[in-house]
């Protein structure tokens, strides 16, 4: 099963005065990684999804566990895979790994395919849904 990975450097703007990553910045970086996954792996940027298909991919749920801090200058890897694909939602698991594959955070996200006017859910475009299934963890639902 493919895993989408994105490397990030923890920068000054991500940290507090002690040089430890401020927790809301994790959520900003998680969103960047999801957006990169759509663009680079699923073949559909958020801009195309919104502009050509009239749908977005807002976050419907998130559960995050902070295991160890990230610090200024750290290089971390965000590792994303899919645990479930449904008609209008996708459940993701993202691990943030530091040096030596130390787990820094674990996060479970649910994205909803929502109509641009926010009037309700909509089916994922078929090409996106098919590619999402390629990232399913073994034994997970599609």
All structural domains of the chain with their residue ranges: 4-141
Share of residues in the chain with pLDDT > 90 (%): 91
Tell me the pLDDT tens digit for each residue of 11-58.
999 999 999 999 999 999 999 999 999 999 999 999 999 999 999 999
pTM for this model (two decimals) = 0.92
What is the Cα–Cα distance from 25 to 21, expressed in whole angstroms?
7
Structure tokens at 61: 């749920």
Tell me the pLDDT tens digit for each residue of 97-141.
998 889 999 999 999 999 999 899 999 999 999 999 999 987 565
Q: What Å distances lie between residue 63 and 95, 112, 124, CA to CA? A: 12, 15, 23
List phi, psi (to 5°) of 70. Answer: -105, 145
The pLDDT value given to residue 118: 85
- Contacts of residue 14, defined as CB under 8 A and 6 or more positions apart, other chains included, come to 21, 22, 25, 29, 70, 72
Q: CB neighbours (10 Å) of residue 28?
A: 12
Confidence of residue 142 (pLDDT cuts 50, 70, 90): low
Report whether pLDDT(88) > 90.
Answer: yes
For domain 4-141, the CATH class is: alpha beta
């Amino acid at each position: 099963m493919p895993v989408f990975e994105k490397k990030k450097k923890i920068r000054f703007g991500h940290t507090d005065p002690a040089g430890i990553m401020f927790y809301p910045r994790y959520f900003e970086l998680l969103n960047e990684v999801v957006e990169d996954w759509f663009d680079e792996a699923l073949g559909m940027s958020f801009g195309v999804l919104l502009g050509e298909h009239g749908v977005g991919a807002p976050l419907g749920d998130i559960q995050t566990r902070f295991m160890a801090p990230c610090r200024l200058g750290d290089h971390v890897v965000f590792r994303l895979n899919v645990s479930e694909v449904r008609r209008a939602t996708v459940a993701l698991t993202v691990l943030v790994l530091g040096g030596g594959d130390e787990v820094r955070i674990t996060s479970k996200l649910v994205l909803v395919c929502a109509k641009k006017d926010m009037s309700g859910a909509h089916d994922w475009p078929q090409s996106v849904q098919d590619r999402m299934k390629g990232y399913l963890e073994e034994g997970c639902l599609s």
